[in-house]
Chain A
Amino acid sequence: MNRHLVCNNLVKAFGGFRAVNDVSLAVPKDEIRAIIGPNGAGKSTLFNLLTGFFPPTSGRILYKDKDITNEPAYRRVKRGFSRSFQTPKIFPELSVRQNVYLAVQAYYSRSFEWNIFKFRSLDLPGKTEDLLRMFDLARHGGQLAGSLSHGDQRILEICMVMALEPAVLLLDEPTSGMSEVETNKTIDLLMKIYEEDPITMVIIEHDMRVVRRISHHITVLHQGALIAEGTYADIEADDTVRKAYFGEVR
């Protein structure tokens, strides 16, 4: 249970610079974990290691006790990983509907790739419309994804990420660049999804109100290293964190 997603002594060096320096952490199943830290703390780099965007310089990553350290990203997706990016990675030249359709198709074709008849019997357009409605994107369905507002592009990416019905969801600053209304809407939606069917979530977030609202546990990174871990109250009371992150408030 406690060894769901684990990394041991992860290091990622770019030249002589250690963007992630000896980070070990364990995220239990169905926990919502926030990763916080000032800019340049190595949060996104850690994400890229966890999701297989690039391999670590050293250290190991385990998922359900399987070593996935050197597994390419698409294999991890097949294990149930799904991620968003700091700048949304969508298909800007395709319509919003096509974007979601491609995600739905990718999810179902990974189970039915060699079973054409089963695959053909699936109602992919129907599932696409369901998702569009769920994420309040139906009215933009025919619009080019690249023409959406920044906030809506993020919501679209989260929609595509959720189309994969992930077991481990990794969101890189899901609410940055969103208005307060959009932020609340997105967080409400994520919480609703979680309450209906809990999954493991790892979220990089800057907005401490969001962190406070959704996370069970918090990991604090500073200059590539893990400096604290605990509940919101623990972190708030931690002197090291205050020094590094809150900049000595009070």
Chain B
Amino acid sequence: MIWSKKDILWIGAVGGLFAVLPLLLPKIGSSIPVGTEIMIWGIFATGFNILLGGTGILSFGHAAFFGLAGYATGLLILKDRLPLALAIPAAVLGAFLAAALIGALIIRKRGIYFAMLTIAFGQMFYFIASQWNSLTGGLDGLTGFKRTVFLGFDIKPEVNFFYFVFGFFLLTLLFVRALLNSSIGKTLVAIRENVHRAEFLGIDVKKYQHFAFVASATFSGLAGALYALLLNFAFPELLHWKTSGDAVLMSVIGGMRAFFGPLVGAGIFVFLRDIISTYTIHWALPLGAIFVVFVLFFQKGILGIFERGNGR
């Protein structure tokens, strides 16, 4: 079985909760796009965690793939060059290819060197996006594109777009869960737990690490494409290493060893930012404080507090 009964039950429950969010959110003083954004960051963080929690590799460069696909989507649908049904897959493919290439160049480096290189590559993308005015709109960002219809489904209204993202969100949860359940996912755990033993079990460690890098970056790309459509806007900060840091933060707050940890982290992150930013522009300060508390006292994150075997 690629999913256990428990997996289906949990993903079903999470799906059920999100399905009714458009009714709930306005009642608690929030709005539908907040729910959409939680799902988008949920896709980003859940995919990112294939690499972080699943394989034990820290990257600060996944914003590059997030932003790349965001810009690509905007550029491809600008002036109706391509329909959305082609633009989104093309943007995700772009993130996939960029990750395959960059991953091949840097995956041989270990630990801190790898993390530094991911920042370097990410920042390279950031500077290209912020300087290449004629293509990307420079520091002002890329505007002028609007989400319209996807295969005949009108995704302009906020509610419709919410359910459009919801579909990708569910597919992401199912796919990542199946991947982690598979022999590939277990091999990634072996690499995380003891890289030497993994190698001496005959595992081609670099190949699997590269795979995890590319797989996670592909989900970053999907999230980025959807985010650009949510805002009808792409801007250089999408590519900034701080955006990658947000994914790390979500995984740590929610619990990177639990399957739903990054999603819970994404939910808290987006929700709190939404609330706090109505009072102050310094919303990063309390979020940073929460991060510090978790790193110091709850290293396994929120779900780590409840967890007993769940999500392994």
Contact = CB atoms under 8 A, between A and B. Distances in A.
Interface of B: 183, 186-187, 189-190, 193-194, 196-205
Pick the most buried of A74, A83, A92, A103: most chain B CB atoms within 10 A of its CB: A74
27 contacts: A51-B200, A73-B199, A74-B202, A74-B203, A74-B205, A77-B199, A77-B200, A77-B201, A82-B200, A83-B200, A91-B189, A91-B197, A92-B193, A93-B193, A94-B193, A101-B186, A102-B186, A105-B186, A105-B187, A106-B187, A106-B201, A106-B202, A106-B203, A109-B183, A119-B183, A160-B201, A164-B202
Contacts of B189: 91, 94, 102
Nearest to B257: A93
A107 interface: yes
A109 B193 contact: no
A142 B76 CA distance: 53
Interface in A86-144: 89-94, 101-103, 105-107, 109-110, 119
Interface of A: 51, 53, 72-74, 77-78, 82-83, 85, 89-94, 101-103, 105-107, 109-110, 119, 160, 164
A73 to B, nearest CB: 5
Contacts of B200: 51, 73-74, 77, 82-83, 89
A225 B17 CA distance: 69
6 tightest A-B contacts by CB? A77-B202, A106-B201, A91-B193, A89-B197, A102-B190, A73-B199
A105 B181 CA distance: 13
Nearest to A94: B193
A82 to B, nearest CB: 7
Contacts of B197: 89-91, 160
A110 B202 CA distance: 8
A109 B187 contact: yes
A103 B193 contact: no
A213 B149 CA distance: 78
